[in-house]
């Protein structure tokens, strides 16, 4: 029975919709990263993705999460937190899903030349996307925040849906991802080095704190507007996207610049 309950809980947790940043957000992360790749890393990794830019695959995981060959990745986009922690059959807490998958893939890629080309290709797509996801505030999914709703005009939005696209669009709706990456990529070399320090677990823990802030600010069941929420939330969104871009570059350089 306990096994069944755990399984049921796992299934229920898995079925919540989760796309994180929209294509604009994920592409901006990837563009920032691309500008900070070393020439050697860029050249090595692009050989595995058909000479494309990594930005082409920024949202690939979102688009293929229900496609049968890749539906195993369906639930890799969100980390649950506190009272929502997943447990195994014995009741032991399971590690955060997107963070643990990202860590596993990065570890496997440390010796990428021993992997098949198709697996390296798939891993690149996952890394490019998951680094963006773990920096998106609503991808630390708190039980308390899930029922929250806000109103924008006549629409009632889930917090997740609002963060997927509306927060970024509230200020940058007319801005293309490439342009936005130029606007956000203004940190000094010292600042970037500081951002890139630490482990993926450290970055996850930092995201938890940012996510708490983003959730606490939400005017529940009230109208959201630029003045009441977006103007504060956008600072967090811009920070998370920029930081994710620099860290994505750090991961890819560490893998492919050798």
Partner 1 sequence: MKKILAIAVALLFTYNTYAWSRALHAAVAAIAEDNLTEQAKQNITNALDGKSMVYHAQWLKDVGGTPEYAHTRAWRNVAMTPKGKLIVGKKAQKHAEPSIQKAQAYDALIAAVSAIESGKLNEKELADNIRYIITITADLHCPTHYIFTDMIEKRKSYYYYDGKKHRYDLYWENSAVKGTFSWRTNEFVHQLSRKTPEQVAQITKGSITSWITGNAPLYRDIYMMLDTGTSFDKKGLRNWQNKIYPIATEQIAVAGYRLAAILNGLFDSSVPNVKTK
Task: Enumerate binding residues for partner 1 (CB under 8 A).
Answer: 22-24, 27, 51-53, 55-56, 59, 63-64, 66-67, 176-179
Alpha carbons 6 and 90: distance in angstroms, whole number? 9
Specify the residue, 57 or 142, whose C-beta has the smaller distance to partner 1. Answer: 57
Four-point Cα dihedral 177, 161, 235, 223, nearest 10: 130
Nearest Cα neighbor of 120 from 128, 131, 130, 112 is 112
Specify the residue, 21 or 210, whose C-beta has the smaller distance to partner 1. Answer: 21
**In the complex, least distance from residue 53 CB atom to partner 1, rounded to whole angstroms:** 6
Nearest Cα neighbor of 242 from 161, 177, 160 is 177
**In the complex, least distance from residue 178 CB atom to partner 1, rounded to whole angstroms:** 5
**In the complex, least distance from residue 17 CB atom to partner 1, rounded to whole angstroms:** 9
Specify the residue, 51 or 114, whose C-beta has the smaller distance to partner 1. Answer: 51
Specify the residue, 49 or 215, whose C-beta has the smaller distance to partner 1. Answer: 49
Instruction: Please give the DSSP secondary-structure letter assigned to residue 96.
Output: P
**In the complex, least distance from residue 191 CB atom to partner 1, rounded to whole angstroms:** 26
Q: Are 237 and 168 in contact (CB under 8 A)?
A: yes
């Amino acid at each position: 029975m306990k096994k069944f309950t755990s399984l049921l809980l796992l299934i229920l947790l898995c079925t919540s919709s989760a796309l994180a940043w929209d294509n604009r957000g994920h592409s901006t992360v990837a563009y920032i990263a691309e500008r900070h790749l070393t020439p050697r890393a860029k050249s090595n990794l692009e050989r595995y993705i058909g000479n494309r830019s990594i930005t082409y695959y920024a949202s690939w995981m979102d688009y293929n999460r229900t496609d049968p060959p890749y539906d195993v990745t369906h639930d890799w986009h969100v980390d649950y937190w506190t009272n929502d922690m997943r447990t195994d059959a014995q009741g032991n807490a399971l590690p955060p899903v997107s963070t643990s998958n990202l860590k596993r893939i990065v570890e496997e890629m440390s010796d990428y030349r021993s992997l098949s080309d198709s697996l390296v290709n798939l891993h690149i797509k996952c890394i490019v996307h998951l680094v963006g996801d773990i920096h998106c505030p609503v991808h630390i999914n708190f039980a308390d925040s899930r029922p929250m709703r806000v109103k924008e005009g006549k629409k009632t939005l889930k917090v997740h849906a609002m963060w997927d696209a509306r927060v970024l669009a509230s200020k940058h709706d007319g801005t293309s991802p490439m342009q936005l990456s130029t606007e956000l990529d203004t940190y000094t070399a010292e600042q970037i080095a500081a951002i890139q320090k630490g482990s993926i677990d450290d970055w996850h823990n930092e995201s938890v704190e940012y996510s708490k802030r983003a959730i606490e600010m939400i005017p529940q069941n009230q109208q959201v507007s630029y003045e009441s929420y977006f103007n504060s939330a956008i600072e967090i969104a811009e920070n998370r996207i920029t930081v994710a871009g620099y860290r994505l570059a750090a991961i890819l350089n560490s893998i492919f610049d050798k």
